[in-house]
Each structure stands twice: as structure tokens, then as C-alpha cells.
Amino acid sequence: MSSENLQKNVEKALDEIRPFLQNDGGNINLIGIENGEIVKVQLIGACSSCTVNQMTLKSGVEMTIKKYAPQIQSVINIEA
């Protein structure tokens, strides 16, 4: 998969997740994709200070991204 297609697939995954985050007063931005397997995101708004944001990142965000782009190994949050 080209890096352009990979980025589009990751964006599709984030678009699927965004309404749930926005419902809780937060959001998520794609910072970049490293080596075609590590997605860097930034949780913003209420999500940046939420006590369960690491659980959200792993069980929600990472799982959804892997559905669209199975080659992704992990998703990491870049602090603001």
C-alpha cells in the first residue's frame, strides 16, 4: 500500500472515531505515520486530560486504525 493510501485509510479510521470523541468534548488529530507502521496522533480537548485516554487510544483508536490499515503496529499519542 502506498504511503498516500495508508494515510487515507488512517484518516478514514479517525473519521469513524471522531464523533465519539467529539461527543465527550474532545477530538483527535493525525500527526504523522512513521516507517509505515507507527501512527502518531494528538488527543485534544477533553481527551487530552481524560484519565482513560490511554485505554481509548489502545482499545478504540488503535483497533479501528488496524481495521483500515492492518500493517500498523501501534498508535502513540503526542502530548501537546
- Mind listing the pLDDT tens digit for each residue in 36-64? 999 999 999 887 787 777 777 788 899 99
Q: Which residues does 72 contact at the CB level (< 8 Å), separation at least 6?
A: 10, 33, 37, 38, 39, 62, 65, 66
Report yes or no on whether pTM surpasses 0.85: yes
pLDDT score, position 51: 79
Please report the domains of the chain, with CATH numbers, ordered by start residue. Answer: 3-77 (3.30.300.130)
pLDDT of residue 9 exceeding 70, the answer is yes
pLDDT score, position 80: 67
